[in-house]
Amino acid sequence: MNYLSPDLIRAKFSKSMSDMYQKEVPLYGDLIDLVQEVNRNTLNAHPALAQQLQATQELSRLSEERHGAIRLGTPLELQTLARVFSVMGMYPVGYYDLVPAGVPVHATAFRAIDAQALAISPFRVFTSLLRLELIEDESLRDTATHILQDRQIFSDRALLLTEKAEQQGGLSAEDASLFVEEVLETFRWHSHAPVSLEVYQALHDQHRLIADVVAFKGPHINHLTPRTLDIDLVQAGMQARGIPPKAVIEGPPPRVCPILLRQTSFKALDETVFFDGEKQGSHSARFGEIEQRGIALTSKGRALYDQLLQATRQRLNAPTNETNAEQYMQILQEEFQAFPDTWLELHQQGLAYFCYEINSDVLGTMQPQNYDIQQLDTLIQEGIISIKPIVYEDFLPVSAAGIFQSNLGDHARSEYQVCSNQVQFEQHLGKKTHDMIALYEHTAQHSLQKVFAEINSQQLTSV
């Protein structure tokens, strides 16, 4: 059978999701236009950046790159969505605990894990699962549990097509189009809530996110995120166009060599909702987000990043908002002076992950010998091997919580007295999540072994 590649199904779904969200949230379309304008101007102004993105296969995927986020209510919903995403070649990577920041969910990110698959379609979905046990009112917790148990967020046809793909190992082009169409319905906005206004308000009073998860027919996509090459220009452009951005860009400060992930967003829309069939009120949950991606960090690099971010937050000693945004960014810049900002330093200090390539022009002038990995730094300094940053494909829990909190209002809870529970999350998921560090390590090591095999092969041929 000729089955459509999961990568192409994922690309088709990503495009359909973006088209749907632009219709539902026109401001997101304005955001796309702004990001594309900033990216064009940045590439024109920085030819070296354009060459780097071309060499790392990021340029071709830039205009298509986006991630979404959804919030689920039950383990069954999470397990079923994992099956659905598997048809698209998307697998759970990483565990994110947002509870310490006052957001009662834990999460994973579904994405492709192979470098070539990511080059075709880097679409990701940050997927949160509500921790019902954090609803303190026992009666309200029981009500929420019953509401979630009674709903079905996937259409019958979507489930049948998922099962068909599992049984036969893929979907035909025709079935894939139907699959995308049916699964898209799970992420669509529903303005009619199947609960009373009183129940909604009680859930909302516990936490606005709890109401967002429990009170609706399904886990409407709550944001989509295009990728920009200069998030500071986008932040300024949003203000100039009358799009209200959040006060502070989450993540590291601006750098010559971007690391990890920087994110900002426009604030959630206030949308009319019909409770029990009557026009009763409104709900705000959906917003637009922008991201700028940098290089993936090693465990050592992540430890330094976390240390400097924590030092920044301790010095500020207050939640970030409009009144202290400038002060926060100043402190952030000062603290991150301790983080090296050249590719060579990042590589030499083992802080970040790179792919490796041979400079074929130099290779022909080398003296024949058997090279090993211990000589890597020398070969890089001599220009025989070049290093190319591996893009960070994942998320940051503190940044994700910051984005969520900025769209949950001023009365969002600051903390819960509860421990992280990855074991529970993976039990609910029905499988273990992939270790993101191990994935980056594998990519880097595979590239390194390939380069040294090629160098020594060519050296033996020349002898």
The single-letter code of the amino acid at 245 is: P
Pair 48, 381: CB distance under 8 Å? no
Collapse the DSSP code of 218 into the 3-class scheme (helix H, G, I; strand E, B; otherwise coil) and give the result.
coil
DSSP 57: T
- The third-level CATH classification (topology) of the domain covering 6-296+393-432 is 2,3-Dihydroxybiphenyl 1,2-Dioxygenase; domain 1 (3.10.180)
One pLDDT digit (tens) per residue for the chain, 463 residues:
789 999 999 999 999 998 998 888 888 888 888 999 999 999 999 888 888 888 777 787 777 768 899 999 999 999 999 999 999 999 999 999 888 878 889 999 999 999 889 888 999 999 999 999 888 889 999 999 999 999 999 999 999 999 999 999 999 999 999 999 999 999 998 888 888 889 989 998 888 889 889 999 888 888 888 899 999 999 999 888 888 888 889 999 999 999 999 998 877 677 788 887 666 777 877 777 889 999 999 999 999 999 999 999 999 888 787 888 889 999 999 999 999 999 999 999 999 999 999 887 776 666 656 777 888 988 898 888 999 999 999 998 776 666 655 555 544 444 555 666 899 999 999 999 999 999 999 999 999 999 888 887 765 444 3
Give the whole-angstrom CA distance, residue 192 versus residue 283: 11
Backbone conformation region of residue 456, classed left if phi is above 0, alpha if psi is from -120 to 50, else beta:
alpha
pTM over 0.85: yes
pLDDT in tens, 314-361: 998 887 878 888 899 999 999 999 999 999 999 999 999 999 998 877
Contacts of 411 (CB under 8 A, 6+ apart): none
Pair 425, 287: CB distance under 8 Å? no
Give the whole-angstrom CA distance, residue 157 versus residue 140: 33
Backbone conformation region of residue 337, classed left if phi is above 0, alpha if psi is from -120 to 50, else beta:
alpha
pLDDT in tens, 146-205: 999 999 999 999 999 999 999 999 999 999 999 999 999 999 988 888 888 899 899 988
Domain boundaries, the chain: 6-296+393-432, 297-350, 354-389+435-463
Give the whole-angstrom CA distance, residue 128 versus residue 213: 10
| DSSP string across 330-350 | HHHHHHGGGS--SHHHHHHTT
